[in-house]
Each structure stands twice: as structure tokens, then as C-alpha cells.
Structure 1
């Protein structure tokens, strides 16, 4: 499948964006844009800064400001050659004497017109193929081809920026001497290694010794100005095996993520896990033996009747039950939520011959404890658009897990058929298209791009029940990046076991038994200070308040005396934790010197100031640590932590994370030596280490992560052709002179940089109602002096792309005169864009891209 990041888009050329970007990186072109001369526009900078707003779960408001990008457009040559398909004129398998046509798509990825030299028939490399005709045709904006004609003088003349042509090589298969499986191949161009790798695209037209230009597909400059990067060349190769045929195949990719884990109580039998899925029907194929096609319906049992539907199926994980209190969500009203109460171990989700019985699906929700599978059905077909279908979501609650915790495993499946797939003459049963979640490969294709079997899909109606087998199946390490055959399991760890010395619990508010990615000592509460609008330099953050809970576990049989709470440094936390490792709690140097932490419980309050040299928090004045007294088994109390960060030129910049470990422990000598007795052993000017004066080992650490804003906003720009294909790499700082009619694409990359949910019971930072404002005439307050002026110097070009939410267009600067949410036509007077992204979970990221053409 394509590894391109899917986007909402209106253009058909987007599938090649990732390839070209990687190609330019490979060729060393990923550098600041270089200056050049441009006609028709006065010299000067085109300045662009983006802003964003969002709130956290407590409804506190935040702003983010991107870096400022100043763009100048240069004349740049860039060339791409890509396989565009093989056609057997008489259909069927490729046989001796057959007439084949090999199509190659040639695109001017530069920003100025150019001629493109095409090798003659005699200089086109072929294997087991007799080329007889060489023609070309224009690729129309809708993706259709114009009339094929002979190439005049070996050159396609005056190829405009953004334009693509199809070069077609037609010929015949030799009438003898071929065995089944032999490659029949055509290579257009000669850019080593001629293997369709990134190294074959957009290379300098100055190959190694022995390079024959007559074999190259290359640009030939026709303007008065020399391209800044010189002339470029590229090549592509494609083949088909003798005695085989190209098969249309629906390529389905199913991805799965854990949206949230809610611990509720410290027990392991009431945790809520919400899963989120998305489905993509790919528009590119990982193998030349298959061409992408729509995903059609396949047979399923619905209400005990056989019907045809596209099906997404998910077995309710072992150790959980379906949660009826949180309604499952489908992407839209074309999808219907269905349920099955049949045993997954003895059934498969669809109707298939030669295997287990088909599970019966119903639309009415059964009793929660009876539901064994949850599914989503669609009448089909689904277009092979390459755009993800988001919005599948359901929740389960843990049940019957061991008291000390366990892992919950889960696997999702998608089923369909290839649209208009001709029946196999040997077996009239149409091939079921099948994919498992856990990776980014369609139809369970292998990591090297080869199909799981010769049909392009490998559904096994005996074994592919959807029931996870942790001992045999692979496990997705996160974000659908699993490797190996088939799909990989999604794993959620519930109720991680605390170490033997942890007889006290300390964690986020109402979650003292929270666990982090490792154990009960690296659970966390994430909070954020506001960031002044326009700020990218260091600032003095406002104080933040954090509520937390300490508890004597109900499993204990004795009270805990003199339970005390103090801030400690990350290095001290490593010593307090019996499983402490270097860096587990962050670094001492990440906390600004002079950071003030105040801990309050009832009338008690203790204030500490961080001493960076000593690496400890020092209690102020004659204060004593907060001591909540005795806690009987099961008892818990809440306390408050206030963190006040100082202005620090290096550490209190936007998007910084300041780790503040908070230790709860049973103080063994609260009168003579109150507090955590972890003292310094100092020799000379350096801190050698920490020495416990008294072994207060009955302790537990929770971690307060103070972020200085948590939505990262990065602005970049690059030169594009009309298809949205990169011809110059992304850059953030450069200055240029704009040329008549050139196109600039702006990319705003956003990411929630806060720690995602790991373990259970932690407090994460969601960015709710996240909105990106691109105002083409707005000045930015704060320490960014530049003002946007791109609305006056450029005009809108279609194919705006965005990963999430909606984009609203406005006719002037400022979000006043709305043009609606439909991408306006080329040259429309759009002065403001508003991407209403919605909620962005921790670790989630996305992009918003829009195109502007320099005014003529």
C-alpha cells in the first residue's frame, strides 16, 4: 500500500507527494529555498504566520503561534517519472505474441515551463519485449488522457509547470523462448539504479561516467533564466510476468488505536477502554500485479439472512464486556452499527465456504454481557480514494481480570470484495478482500510489498476468527506500525503490578493507584500554563494548580503513620523507586533553578524552592513538610500542588515540559528529622550522589508534568506544481523574489506534544476545539514582529488539504465574510482560512495545507 499520509483532498495527484518529498530529500535538495528572479511582482517578502486557539478539559483557553515563514520563489527544475500501468490489448494472461502497452506518467515538478527529452525507441531499455511504437498524450485535469500522438523530435515541448503527460511504449511479446514467470519489462529513462526507488527521481542530469544522455528522460530549459538546480532527470521501470495477468483488487487498510483508557477505581474490573478505527480503500497498489479498485460488499449473515455488505468486525476482547453506557459511533449514516452474540471461537464474521459457520449480525443492541463482536456495515462499494474513513469508535469495560492486572489484546478485521471482480473460472466464489488491524499495509500485504498470496488477499475461513492469540500473533508497538505477516494485536496494560515496597499509593486526583508506562511510580498528571499570543521566546509562566490523592491501599492490613508529601528531583525519584532507571523521571537540569512548589493539605502548607546546583527542592524558612497523619487501610486524602516556574531563558520557552516528581511516604522520624531523608554527598563543587540517611522505602512517586503550552504549530512552505507535487523542499526560513504565476504551498503542522495515555488513571492534556487561523493580512502580537501580507501578493489555488475537521474560507482578511466550506475555484479572492480541527488527543498530529499563486 502507499505510505502516503492520507488527507482530505480534491486533487488526483496527491498520491505521489510522499514519493517526491522523499526523492528530494535523497537528492540533497532538502535545504532552504534559494533566491532567483521572477517577473511581474515587485520584490519583497511574502510573510506568513499562523495562530491557533484551543482549550483543555478544564475549559482553560490557550493560544499557539507558529514561526514566521518568508517565501521567495525561484525558478527550479524538477522531474518525476512514474509507472502508470500495463495493458494487455486482448486481456487475459500475457502470452507469446500479445500486444502490450506500458504507460509512464511524466510530470514537470518544476515551477517554470520546460521541454522534456524522451529517448527514442532504440534507446528505451526492454527485456523480453519488442517495442514498436512510442507516443504521448496530455493528462487532463480530471485525470483523463488526450489523444496519443508521436513525440516530435524526441522532445515533449513546452511542458508547463504542474503538467503531466503519459508516454506510452507499445510492442509485442516474443513468440517463443519464454517460460512462465519470466519478466517482461520496459524501462523509460536511465537514472541509476533504475528500480523505481527514490534515487531514480529528480536527479541532476549529470550521471556517472558512461551516462548516455540519449537514454535519459530529462528537462531541457527553454527560458531565459537557468534553473537554480540545473537540469534534472528521472526514470521508471515496470514489468509483468509472462503467463500472468494484471488483476483488479480492492486494497483495504484497517487501522486501530486506543482512544482513551479510564481507570475509574483502583480495581482492574471497571476500567473503560475506547477503541478508534479507520478504514482506507487505497488508490495505489504495492504490487504491479494488481490495480486498485473499489471495495464492494461480501456475503454476511444479517438477521439470519444472507446479504451483501462491507463489514468492519471487532471481537470484544477477552477480559472485557461491551459498555452499553457509551454508544458506539459510526463514521456517518451510510454505516450501521451491528452486533453478534455468536461465539467468536466457532464462527467467522462473514459467509465463506470451507470454514467455520458465519456469525449472525443484528442491528438491535443485545444485552451487553452477550455481545461477542461489534461491527459496522456499509452497502458498498467504497471508492478507492486513498482517503481514510474515520469515526469508528466503541467502548468496553474490563471484567474478570486478575486483581494484579493483565494485558487486554484486540484485533479488528475488514471484509469485502473487489468491485466487478471477474469470477475465477476454476472456483466461481469471488475472492474475499480481507485485512487485519495493527499495521499500515493493505490486505495483509507483507512488509516488502509482496501480497500475502497470489490472489492479493488471504482470508482463511477456518482460522481468521478475529480472536487474538498473543502467543502467536504479533503485537503492534503503537500507532499501527506492526511488522510481520497479517495484522498485529492492539495491547492495553491494565492494573500494572506495583513493586513489593510500594505499600502506599500516590497519584492523580481520585486515582492514587494510577500506573504509568512502566509501573505505579511513573503515573502522571499533565497540566499546562497559558502562553501569551505571539510568544516564541522565554516568558514567565503563570502558576499552575494540581489536585492529587494519596491512599493506604485497601490490601494493606495495618495503618500507615505520618504519611508525608514532598517534591523531589528526578534523580532523587530514581533512588526512591525500586525500579528506578536513569531518565525515567526526566532530568534534574530540566527544572528551572528557583522553581517554587507549594504543597497544601487542609491548613498545612509547605513551600519549596528548587536548587539546581544541589539538585533538590529546599523547604523555605522554618516550614515543615506536609504530614497528613495516619491512614488506615483503604483511606485516602486529597492534596494540592502549586508549581510556579520562574523566567528561564533556556527552559521556560513555549512547548517546554518541566517534570516535577511528587513523593508520598511514611515518615520514619517526623519529629527529629521530618521529610524525605535523601541527602547530598557533595565533594568539592560537584554533586557525587545521594545517600539515604534513613531508609524510607515505603514510598510512591507520582509525576506532575508542567507544559508551557502543548500544541505545537510549525509553519513551512515549498514550491508546488498544479497537482500539489513538491518541486522544491519544505523550508522555514528563506527570502526570495516571486516570479509570475508560481505557486507556493503553505503547510501548518500541528501536534499535541503532551504525553499520551499510558497505563491507567493518568491525567492527559486534550486540545479541545483546536482551530488554526491563517489570516493573510493580520499582524501578530508578542515577540514576532512580522505581519502577514500574503493575501495582497498571492491568490487562492484549489486543493486545500486538511487531516481533520473543516476549513472555512473568507473573502477578506479577518474571519468576517465567509465563503463557506467548499474549496473555492482558482484565483478566488480568499484572504483568510480557518481550519476547525476539533479535539486533538495527546500525541496526535496533523497538517493543514493551502496553496497560493503569486499574483500575475
Structure 2
């Protein structure tokens, strides 16, 4: 009787051991998807369970069969938007937004990269050319690779080896590819116009590693399984979770108000002297007075997106030295006229300058000299150093006027009482049929 009871107890213990082994196997089966995120596809995980028990008299040992679990291939992708190269651009500017695509699966994979990003505002902004692949695994490419409007797979764009992206280990740049979206702020954009840039297209915006089977779109950023034996593929079956996609959207890009100075030159004949010889023109003296006005507010009609600014300088060549932050007020010597022996006069802080450069050369690109040259002087001007203090825009409705410029001219022997004066304004040649010509250039930033 006792022997039968011992046998029954032993069978119960063995059944308990079998159940324990089955439970261990079941638990391993449940955790395999988690392990697949860190273990390479195709990796074997082996486990053998052992148990020791006693019936009070005898100790028994039992060992289960070896359980082998093979890690399945799991696809995964994340997209992260980087900070735009300019978050407060001006109208007409160009900028770019980078996106980092990461392989969060457990096997090398290709990615499909769309050729078009999604812009939240297409009336004031546009994609400025092709999307480009600029880096792989954190290493910049020597020459960016363009992605056509139709998009493309990295294996085709970069080649089978470089275009197969290894799994990311959890940190670092391994397993990443960086793409760049170029953006143009259209000239019609005004201050306050805003844009966000998105790469990818998920059913719920800006989600990561999503099943693509129910939401396929040509603008998707998605995984592309390598062919067996290509790009480090494990030669396993297709990813157990299918094709994955992801999406990211940049931070806001908001057009800034463009600072713009509004300057004008005022010119008038301040004096005329014929030296009491009305029949002789060559001894006549004609003096022009000039004034520089920086307007505030801007002249009507105002241009949208511009904010009135002080007047700053630009680069000017003076005495063969290219000098930055200079403001140039210049005037063309009218045809049939020449500078008199009286030196040009400017207000405090302004230096008279001369140039013999042809009139076909823009005034700010001419070679200016502070000493009167011996050749034919074609323009005379005044230089102001704005590196420390610009010309203030002044108060609203008043602005700032800088006066005290004067140029004295004599008629040449070829001069006649009725003549046409050619002058330049805004880089266009114009003409007058009297002697009150307008000044040629005001150069500033």
C-alpha cells in the first residue's frame, strides 16, 4: 500500500515539473519579441530547465528537454526632425531642415525616402530643389545624393552595401541616415508667415514605427527588406511585423521682418555765377547742393514685410583698399561739365572722394580715391564710416536729413546753352534737358 502511495506522489511531482517546464517555455515565447529588439535576427536562444524535489525521504532530480528559440526578423524605423538652419528667415531667403532616419529593427534594412516633403504653407514657401541624403551612420557624404521627386530606396540611391542600414544599438549614430530638405522663402512672404516641414506620412501624424499595411502613401518613409544575402540580410523570412513607417515634423519657421533703410538724395542748384561774362561759358561756376535723407516711415506705398531701419554701410574700395561698413553718396559729372578747382565740401564725418572708373561700372564697385586724380573724373562722392555709428532713421514722420554736401562745376568748351545731362539712378541711365540733374547713387546695405 505504501509503495503505491509513493508512486502516486512521484507522478504528481513529475507532472508539476512538466508544468513548470511548460511555463518556462511559455514565458520565453512571450518575451521573444522584446528580445528581438536587441538581439540580431536569426540568433538562437537556448534554455534547459532543471528541478530538484523530495518526497521527504528521497531527493529526485529532473531535467527538461532543451528549448531553442530563434529570434525572428523585426523591422523598425524612427524619424527625428532636426532644428531648421534658420527659424526666423527673411523673405527671399533659403534654408534647410534635416531629418535623421533610424533603423530600430534587429536586421539591416533599406529605407524608402520620399522625394517630396510636406509643407504646411505652400503659398509663402516652397521646396527648393531635391531632397538630399547628406550622411550615413553619422558620417557626412563627400557629395550629397539627390532623391528624385518620385523618391527612391537607399539601396538604389547609395548602392547595396552603403544603402543597407545596420540596426541602431540604442545610442549613437550607427544605423542612421540623414536627409536634407531645402526650403525657399518666397519673395511674397511677410513678417509672421509660418511654416512647418514634415517628412513621412503616418495615419496619426508624427508617430514612429507604425504598421504601413493600412495606410500606404507615396510620401511614406518606410522600411524595405533586403534580399537574402544582400547588405547583411540574415536570409530569414520577411520581418514578422511587416513594413514599418514613421513621420516627423519640424519646429515652426516664422518669417522675420526685414530691416530696410529708406534713403533719398536731395539735389538742387544752390548758386550760379557767370563771372559777368554772359557770352563766355567756360568761366561760369555752377554749385550743386546735396542732402541725404533717411526716411521714417518708408515712402508710400509701403512694401509688406519691411521694417524701417537705420542706414548702414557696405563694402567700398577707397585708395585701392576694400573697406567695409562705408556709406557712399555719389554723383555723376554731367556731360560737358568738369569739376572746378574748388574742392567738394561735405559735412563733418564725410570725406570727399573721386573716381575715374567708367560709368558702366556701378558706383559701389568703382575705385575711389581721396586725392583728386589726374585723369578724367567721372564721378565725385562722399564716404562715411558707418562701422561705429550708422545714420539714424530718426523719429517717425521726421526721419534724418544730412545736409552740407556741395560740388562746384565749370562748363567745358564743348558745353552749349542747351544740352542733355545723362545721369544714373537706381542703376538705370536717364536724361534731363536742363541743368538740375539728379544724383547718381546712394550705396548702403
For the pair shown, which has the larger CA radius of gyration, 1 or 2? 2
> Does TM, scored on the shorter chain, surpass 0.5?
no
Q: Which has the higher contact order (CA 8 A, sep 6+)?
A: 1
TM-score where L is the length of structure 2: 0.36
Higher helix share: 2
